[in-house]
Structure formats: C-alpha cells, structure tokens
Structure 1
Amino acid sequence: MARRSLICLYGPDGAGKSTLAKGLAGELGGVVSWMRGTHTFASLVARLLARFSVMRVGNRRNPYYGITVPNSLKPLWWFLEFASILPVWLLRYVLPSLRRTVVGDRGLVDFLVWVSLTTGLGFLRSIYGRATLALASRCVNVYVTAGLSIILSRRSGDEEEWIIEQLAVYNALAKALNSPTVDTSGVSIEESRGRLRGIIEEAMRKRSK
C-alpha cells in the first residue's frame, strides 16, 4: 500500500466506522482524523441563533441546536457551512496526508449528509454542495453501513425517522460516488476489516497505475 494516502470512511453513526478506522490506521501506520458539523464556526453561529424564537420555527431543524434556517437565508447559511468546513478538511485531512496515511472516521460525505438533513436537499444541488462533492471525490471513499435494525440497536438515543433519512441520503451519495461498501450487518469485526482491507488494496493498485 502507498505510504501516503487519504482514506475516508463515511456512513451513519452506529455503522462501525470508528472501529474500522482505528484498525485500518494501525495496519497502515497512519492516523485517524475526525470531523463533525458541530465542530465548525457555523456551529457557533447556530448556538447564537438558537436564542432567537424566529429561528426555531419549522419542521427541518438542527437536532443539536433546534434551529431552522429560513429559505431566504439558506444560500448564505450553505456558504457559511462550506467556508467553515474547509479549514477542518485542510488541516486535519489534506495536509497530514502529505506526510503519512490519514484514515478519516467521517469525512466530507458525512458533512454533505449533515447539511442536507438539517437544511434541505437543495444543498446537494447548490454550488457549495457540488464543490464539497468534488473535493470528497479526491480521496478514497468507503461507505460503511449496516441494516436499519442494527443501527437502531447501536444508536438507542436517535429517532428512527432520523436514521431512515440518513440512510436514504447516504445511499444516494454512495451511488453517485460509486463507492465500495462495507456492510457490517451480521458479520464479525475481523470479516469487516478483511473486506475493508481488500477494498483499500484494490484502490491503491488502481491509483498507482
């Protein structure tokens, strides 16, 4: 395998990304990087906006802060989200991968799903969504998923409707990216690791040609 590479495992919470990322990074002598939409400048703004009742009206709400972004403000909010995630992507993923292998426990595809579910699927069609997808395609992406019942058993605090929505968007993006998939349902950790290892080896062979 290549000494330096950027690999991102993406998928719903509870699918097994963290376990697989740690194991893969150990095998490759690399490091694990992690991102979440709540760890950006946009999240700080969301905390502030949550104090205003006008931002708490509507159906599609941020589950962490309870805000709903009005349609008129969505383009501005999408820009803020995109601008907030870029330094995280650069500092935690891209630059470290110039020196060693970085395995992402979450990545830009997870960010796409997060913003789409909290503000609407229009984000995927926006210039910011398309730019994020283009950046995501530059690394080796592997979709880590599991059956609905398995994820619900691992994420007892999440609502079933929220998980179902996540899976629908993840499945659509995995198809768009033509990502290889590791389904952890009904298999051991070792079996999942073996499947992932084979995927990475094949991806590296293709990139070295």
Structure 2
Amino acid sequence: MALSVSYFEAAGAEEPSTEKLPPEKSPSEEVKLEDLKPEPLGDMFGIKLLEKIIELEDAFKYLAKEVGQINEKLTKRIDELEEKLTNLEKAPPAPVSATGEPYTPPPPPQKRFEVGELHLGSGFTAYNLAYETTEKGTAFTGEIKNGSSAPVEWVEFEITVFDEDNKLIGAKRFRVTNLHVGESTPLDETVKGPEAHWIKKYEIQFLRRS
C-alpha cells in the first residue's frame, strides 16, 4: 500500500486555516456610534465633573432669582407709570386767563404771623407772641410774664381781633393763675371763628387781678 504525504506534512508546516476572516471595512465606510466604546473615566475626573455641574446649577438658580426680582421691579414701575399717565389723561385742562395766557392761581393765605413782644398793661408782658390759623379759629401762643411788683393768684386778660374794616370779628377772655413776680407762664388761647389772615388788628388787654 502506497503512502501519500502532502506537501505541507513533508515540509513540517501547518495547513492554512479554513476559518473565514471578517471582511475588511473600506476607508469610506461610515463608523457607527455603537462601535465606539469609550474608555472608563477615572474616579477623580468624575468627581470634578460632578462638582462643576453642581456649580453651574447653583449659578443658574441665582441668575433666575435675580432676573425674577428685576422683572418684578420693572413690572411695578410700569404699573406706576401707567397709573400716572391715566391720571394725567383724566386731569382737566389748565385754566386760561382772558389774555390767553395760562392762569396762575393766587398764593394760599398766610396761616401764621409772628408778633414778638406786646405790653398788656399793669406790668404784664407777652413774649414770643404769634397767632395762626387752626381748625377752630386763630390760636394765640407765646408767654406771659409778671413784671409787676407783686405776685398774683390770678389775672384776667382779653383778646380781641378786628378785620380790615375795624370790625370786631372775635374775642376771648382767659385767666393766668399763681404767677409770681418775674415768672412767666405759657400762653395758648384760641379765638374761635376767624382765620389768622382775616385779622388786621388785635389787642390783648389786662382786665383785672386778684
């Protein structure tokens, strides 16, 4: 029986593998994402990345809060301006004088008048005297000093006021008590009715004492 030895056996070489190799991809063939396998991140890199993400989230929250506050202030300011504009639109037109020029109203009446010092008679004097309009009429304020030679248990005075026609338009009697020589006591008495700017003449007179 004849022995047949193949060339590869005689040469001591292995026979070529019969397994099929995968086909080579051409350079123009598109690489799929699922074929790419990222390398695992290190622990330190992952921690740093997480910290950065948290910082960005905090920054965005802060900016959102600031923007919200600014928007609220702007909205409030716009509402105020709209209200003012509405009031201006509703306001009546400015009055015009007979000459066609804008009408200028007269200044408001004076409410307070400074007098200073006033001798009341029998050694009594009013200091820092003034009178002004109040809700009830005209109030006379200041101080009354006993410049006489004796103390008083009480002393009576009268305030009278007159208009520009010298007509009596108000009066008020009042008493001061327990006033020693050289002492002063506050004055705060109201003549009911007339306003201060109606008064063109006034008097505070001593009437009697104890």
Tell me which interval the TM-score lies in, with the shorter structure as reference length: under 0.3
TM-score (norm 1): 0.17
* Structure with larger RCO (C-alpha < 8 A, sep 6+): 1
Higher strand proportion, which one?
2
TM-score (norm 2): 0.17
Who wins on radius of gyration, i.e. which is larger? 2
